Amino acid sequence: MLFGRIGNGGARRRLAAFCLALVCVLGVAAQTPVTARAQVEITAPSAILIEASTGQVIYEKNADEQRSPASITKIMTLLVTFEQIQAGKANLEDEILVSEYASSMGGSQVYLAQGEVQTLDTMLKCIAVASGNDASVAVAEYIAGSEEAFVKMMNDKAASLGMTGTHFVDCCGLTTSDDHYTTARDVAVMSRALITEYPEVFRYTQIWMEDITHVTRQGSSVFTLSSTNKLLKRYPYTTGLKTGSTEKAKYCISATASKDGIDLIAVVMGAQDPKARFGEAQTLLTYGYASCRLYRDDAPPALPVLEVKGGLEDSVNLAYERDFTYLDLEGLNFEEIQKEIQLPETVQAPVIQGDTAGYLVYSYRGVELGKNGILYEDSVEKADFGDYLRFAFQSWLFS
C-alpha cells in the first residue's frame, strides 16, 4: 500500500483531505503557465537585457551609468554607415582609399596600408568581424570627409534616438578621453536600431572567419579576419553583435541572439575579463528566453473604409501602422487577448496620408497591453465652393 495501513477513521479523513488538496494544487499548476523569473546575478557593474521588436527591458543593472564603451562604439559607426547606404550616398561596391591617418590606428586592426584600396563591403567585414580601428576610420573618412565630421553624424544620430547618456569623440572607441562615453541602455538602443532597421548587418556579424586580400606596393597578401565575438561558437542562437575592450572600459559586449522568433539584446559593460563578459551575456540571454514569450498579431481585424465629410473624395482607406508585438513576462493566455478597433464614424477633410485615424487596442482581462496606430492610406483634399458646384452639375448631368 502506498501509505501503509491507516488505523482509524480520523486518520483516514485527514489523509483524504490531504490528497484532495494535493490534487487541487496540481490541477492549478497544470493550468497555469509557468515562467522562469528567478533572479539572475550579474557581476559586471552595468548591464541590460531587452527584446528587440518591442524594446521592452527584461533585466537591468545600473543601465544608465556612463561608462567608456571601447569598440562597441562601432555599433554606431555601422548604423550611420548603413543609413548612408540606404540613402543612396554610399554603395557596398564603392572603393575606399586608405589614408595615412587611417592606417596609423593602433589597437585592434586589420593592418590596412596607406594607399590600399578596399570595397565598402570588405571594410564592413573588417569592422564587424575583426573590430578594425583602421577600417572604421577609413570608412568614416569616405562617408563624411573626415573622422571629425563622421563623429558629428554619430552624435546627431545618438540624439535622434534619445541616447541622452552618450557622447562620442571618435568612430572606433580607441580613445581614452573622458568625453567619450555611453550607457548600457544607450548601447541597447543603438543596437536595436541597427538590427531592426538594417538586419543585413547579420550577414557580417555572423562571420566566424574569412579571408581578405591586401594589395599594396609590396604585392598582395591574404589576411584572415577572426571574429572577436566568441559567443558565435559558445551560444547557438547568437547573431552578433559587437565586443569591445580597453584598459579603461574593461570588457564590454552587445550580444544579439534569435530563438523561436524572439530577438534579444544583452549588453554587458565593465566586466573584469573576457570570460566574464561572454559568460554573463550568455546568462542574460538564457534568462531572457526562459522568461518571456512574444505575442504577434498575425491576423489583425480587417479595417473599414472611413467616410470623409467635406472632401474631394467621400471616403478614405486605412492601414495599420506596424505589426503589433507584445512581450509577455507573466505567462498570459494569448487566446484571451482582446482587440478593439477605435475609430470615429466619419472624419472631416482635409485628410493627410500617414496621419493617425485611430487605434487597434489590445487588452487582457480588462488591462490594456498596447495599441497599434491606424493610419490614413491616402490624402483627401477639402472641397471648396467651386467643387460643390461641379459635384452638383455632374449629379444633374448624369441623373
Identify the sign of the CA torsion 153, 85, 67, 128: negative
Helix 120-128 with 74-86: angle, nearest 10 deg = 150
State which amino acid sits at residue 173: G
Whether residue 399 lies in the annotated active site: no
Helix H, strand E, coil C: the string for 171-187 is CCCCCCCCCCEECHHHH
* Residues 125 and 112: beta-carbon distance below 8 Å: no
Q: Three-state DSSP class for 383?
A: coil
CA 378 to chain CA centroid, nearest Å = 30
Between CA 60 and CA 47 the distance in angstroms is: 6
The DSSP call for residue 250 is E
The alpha carbon dihedral of 81, 91, 211, 214 has a sign of negative
Contact 181, 69 (CB under 8 A): yes
71 belongs to the catalytic site: yes
Out of 53, 61, 74, 136, the active site residue is 74
Q: Cβ(95)–Cβ(119) under 8 Å?
A: yes
Cell of 357: 485615424
Concerning whether 74 is annotated as a catalytic residue, the answer is: yes
Q: Catalytic: which of 71, 99, 191, 291?
A: 71
> What gap in Å lies between CA 46 and CA 165, rounded to an integer?
13
Return the amino acid letter for 126.
Answer: C
State which amino acid sits at residue 278. F
DSSP string, 37-99: -PPP---SSEEEEEETTT--EEEEESTT--B--GGGGHHHHHHHHHHHHHTTS--TT-EEEPP
Active-site hit among 53, 131, 227, 254: 131
The C-alpha cell at 95 is: 572603393
> Catalytic site residues?
71, 74, 131
